[in-house]
Amino acid sequence: MALFKTSFTSYTLKRNVDINIMYPGLTPDEISHGAHDHAMKGTPPVLYLLHGYWGSHNSWNSYSSVERYAEEYQIVIVTLSAENNSYVNLNDFIPKISDKLFPADYYAFVEDEISNFVHCFFPVSRRKEDTYIAGLSMGGYGAMIHGLAHAEKYQAVGAFSPVTTLQNGRLGDFKTMREEVKTKYEPIEIIKKAKNLPAFYYSYGTLDYLLPCQDWFEEELQKLNIAHTCNRRDGFRHEWKLWDEELDNFLKWIPRTDAFASLPKRFV
């Protein structure tokens, strides 16, 4: 596997940003059997993988087996940083002069720029059928507000121990929030107005401190008769052991039709 630690100037955020790109490559086993060519046989699918609160683009690499999963499942995995900004446009919540001068529009960065950069510099599939988004905690929320609202771009969405609603108050007073903000950033409202939804995988632990909002969200999905897979894990807290296992489960679960999908799982 090739790990690209890349820095580039973001036209959305008006500053340099760092991302990691895990690209499946030759394994020692393949080399020992005579492989001597790094060329990919086609363009692999891509997963945009989001970190949680307090995290960064390095969190998944530090605390999970994400690099091994990229190799085993032959999928490109991209991690990026959104600081603690929930993958939203902060100007929608806190319009300040400083935000106008240095706009923290992480919504546009995730939705438009990151895929533009990856497509321009790396050979990955541009097909919606080969594009996925997932994340943990705050990143699970980010994956939902982006993926569920853009079925034309993402084939599947994965949310692990996600924040499921703005009503926790971290982004402001829900009762006084403008209606257009709620419909853009409240996951259940996105689902209600969506004409189509990507395949949706949702998981959390029964000892999670966010359990009330996660159970509530699962009940809402069932009330609305929304097709989804929910993996409610007994005995797990808000923790990396769960998220590592759930990333593996999500990669097994996602619907794939790419050229690499029918190949045997790699062991590295």
Q: Which residues pair with 19 in a beta bridge?
A: 6, 80
3-state secondary structure string across 87-130: CCEHHHCCCCHHHHHCCCEHHHHHHHHHHHHHHHHCCCCCCHHH
Residue 239 Cα distances to 63, 99, 144, 161, angstroms? 10, 33, 19, 9
Which of 56, 67, 81 minimizes the C-alpha distance to 23? 67
- pLDDT 10s per residue in the chain (268 long)? 889 999 999 999 989 999 999 998 766 666 666 767 666 777 999 999 999 999 999 999 999 999 999 999 999 999 999 998 999 998 887 766 555 566 689 999 999 999 999 999 999 999 999 999 999 999 999 999 999 999 999 999 999 999 999 887 666 666 767 888 889 999 999 999 998 999 999 999 999 999 999 999 999 999 999 999 999 999 999 999 999 999 999 999 999 999 888 766 666 5
pTM: 0.92
First to last CA, the chain: 9
Q: Rounded CA gap, 168 and 76, in Å?
A: 33
176-201 pLDDT, tens digit each:
678 888 899 999 999 999 989 999 99
Q: Could you tell me whether strands 229-233 and 199-205 are parallel, antiparallel, or unpaired per DSSP bridges? A: parallel
Q: Rounded CA gap, 208 and 63, in Å?
A: 18
Q: Rounded CA gap, 209 and 238, in Å?
A: 7
Q: Rounded CA gap, 102 and 93, in Å?
A: 15
Q: What is the DSSP letter of 218?
A: H
Per-residue burial over 31-66, b if 16 or more Cβ lie within 10 Å, else e, is: eeeeeeeeebeebbbbbbbbbbbebbbebbbebbeb
Q: Which residues pair with 76 in a beta bridge?
A: 46
Half-sphere exposure of 17 (CA within 13 A, CB side): 23
118-166 pLDDT, tens digit each:
999 999 999 999 999 999 999 999 999 999 999 999 999 999 999 999 8
Q: Rounded CA gap, 150 and 137, in Å?
A: 20
Q: Which residues pair with 230 in a beta bridge?
A: 202
Topology of the domain covering 2-253:
Rossmann fold (3.40.50)
Q: Which residues pair with 105 in a beta bridge?
A: 89
Residues whose CB is less than 8 angstroms from the CB of residue 53 and which lie 6 or more positions away in sequence, other chains included? 84, 137, 138
What are the domain boundaries of the chain? 2-253
Query: Tokens at residue 107, please?
Result: 């919504």
